[in-house]
Each structure stands twice: as structure tokens, then as C-alpha cells.
Amino acid sequence: MTNNQLTDSGQLRHFLTIEGLKKPLLTEIMDRAEQFSSISSRQVKKVPLLRGKTIVNLFFENSTRTRTTFEIAAKRLSADVINLNISTSATSKGESLLDTLHNLEAMHSDMFVVRHNESGAAEFIAQHVAPHVSVINAGDGCHAHPTQAMLDMFTIRRHKQHFPDLCVAIVGDILHSRVARSQIQALATLGVGEIRVIAPKTLLPADCQTLGVHVYHDMEAGLEGVDIIITLRLQLERMEGAMLPSAREFFHSYGLTEEKLLFAKPDAIVMHPGPINRGVEIASTVADGPQSVILEQVTHGIAVRMAVMSMALGSQPEQYEAMT
């Protein structure tokens, strides 16, 4: 299921999930993102690496924020970008998903950046695309959000260097979070010392034990001595019925406040994939405080997406060095 993201020679072709990828590949993504990182602070934030490539943002679920990061990343690589909101177009004419895909392929598109509210949608699409097309998963249902996970890893590496020494706590709605799933896989692959999840039982997946994480239901114990705290967005729109107490109760028990932050190491960093629900999963004083690296995550998101896009399209880093 996951091997199809790599070519026979082990190069990244699609980027669908962290699952099954090896540490050297994740490290390569971060190393290349490091190169692109400097471009975004240059006077001319653009390299001609993907000039003449056509990248299609194929969003079956609306997410202006995520689409914008991919659009900016693609344009900084000089690609042409086509934004398609599928719910409002082809399918209203009754065309099947695969027909839409095959039409876009026939127009010589090079890459589909796919966002979908069903788990497995990006893999399904990758299984059916033509050989010249790469698929990037920009979030599918509760399944995976691998570029988000990699920008988180990149942010951690920028601050903490050596993964095996680190203790990372992920707090909140693990059950519905594609972000958490991808983060846990990336952290495990990179050999992080300890991974903890802190959540009420109702927001933990059934397979929690098999993920190799330590489960906590209490912030004081869970945050004790951690280096990294990753807070998650309460995906209110993905929850059903009354499995959750009110946002106010959630904040009381699991919201990251300055007081609870004291349980972690003094130099712990605080992360969140955004968009933030202030006063629900995190207090404003923490989100905007000195230990927060939330906006750095956004910045690194551009560089990481440039890295993944350029790797999947098979361009060599030497190429752009020569061209710039």
C-alpha cells in the first residue's frame, strides 16, 4: 500500500504517507528543505527548478490555508499552478473522479496535490495516475498529512538537533487527527527517544498500543520532562455526537496553559499545526509566548513543500544550484 510512493530505485515519486518511508528519505527531505529555506528570505524568492511544470491543486475539501502554502511553494519553484475545487465543478456534471483525473493527465499535468475528506483518497488516486504524474497528499480524512508531519520534524530539528535524545508529547484529539498519525510515524522513523500522547480516552484511537507511544490521560504526568509539546486542533467538524465534553471543559483538562507548560522542560518548544482554537487547545499566552514555534512551522511549511515537490518531480538539487 505504501511502497508505491517510491520508484524502483527508491526515489520519491508520490508523497502519500510517512508509513513505510525510511529514515534516510525523511532526512533527505529535511536537508533539501534546509536549502530552500534560504530562498524564502532572499530578495528574489524564486528558483526556476520547476519552470514549465503544471501543478494542479485538486481540492475536494476546502482548505484555503493549505492550498495557499502549496500554491506559494509551487510558484517559488516557478511551476504553473491550476487551482481546482472539485466539489463545485466536474462532478456536478456527473463525470467520475477517474475521468477527471485522466483528463488532467492528458493535459500533461505533472503533479496533483490532493486534499480529500476520505481516508485513502490520495493513495487511490496515486494507484490510478499515469506514469508521468506525481501525487502529493495534502490531507486525506483521518488518515495522513505527511507534508505537515515533515514540516514539524524540520522545525524540531532546527531547535533540538538530535532526535534520539528527545521526548515528544502530542496533546489532544489523536483519534481524528491525520496530523498526529503522520507525526507519530515520522517521529518513530527518525528514532525519537520517547513519544507520548495525552488525551481523554474518547479521543484516542483503538490501535493506540500498537503505535509505540506512551499513553497519558493527565497533563501533569504526560508533560513531565518533555522537550516538545505538539498541541492539536480540536477537529470539531470531524467529531460525532457527545463523545466530547464542552470546549471549556476540554481547555480546563487538556488546554495548554502557562501553568501546565511548567511541567515540561524549561526549554521545551510548543507546536500546533494550525489553525489555532485559542482558549480551547491552547491559551493565547502560550501560543504567542516565547516557547511557541507555531509561526516558524508555517514558514518551514513552504520550504518542506518545495523540497517534496521538487523531489517528486525528479529534479536534482545540483540542477537549481546551476540555474540560479
Residues of this chain that bind a second copy (CB under 8 A): 40-46, 51-54, 62, 64-65, 68-69, 71-72, 75-76, 80, 82, 84, 88-90, 93-96, 99-100, 102-109, 274-278, 295-296, 298-299, 301-302
Smallest distance, a second copy to C-beta of residue 144, A: 20
Query: In degrees to the nearest 10, what's the CA dihedral of 256, 257, 259, 265?
Result: 50
Nearer to a second copy, 9 or 43 (CB): 43
Q: Are 192 and 163 in contact (CB under 8 A)?
A: yes
Smallest distance, a second copy to C-beta of residue 301, A: 8
Q: How far apart are CA 320 and CA 121, in angstroms?
A: 32
Nearer to a second copy, 207 or 318 (CB): 318
Q: How far apart are CA 172 and CA 219, in angstroms?
A: 10
Nearer to a second copy, 72 or 244 (CB): 72
Sequence-ordered list of residues with C-beta below 8 angstroms from that of 277, at least 6 positions apart, any chain:
233, 234, 247
Smallest distance, a second copy to C-beta of residue 190, A: 24
Q: How far apart are CA 26 and CA 43, in angstroms?
A: 29
Nearer to a second copy, 32 or 196 (CB): 32
> Residue length, the chain?
324
Nearer to a second copy, 106 or 242 (CB): 106
Smallest distance, a second copy to C-beta of residue 63, A: 8
Nearer to a second copy, 82 or 239 (CB): 82
Smallest distance, a second copy to C-beta of residue 248, A: 15
48 backbone dihedrals φ, ψ, rounded to 5°: -85, 20
Q: Is the bond leading into 275 cis (omega within 30 degrees of zero)?
A: yes
Smallest distance, a second copy to C-beta of residue 247, A: 10
- Angle of helix 294-312 relative to helix 23-39, nearest 10 degrees, comes to 110
Q: Are 56 and 90 in contact (CB under 8 A)?
A: no
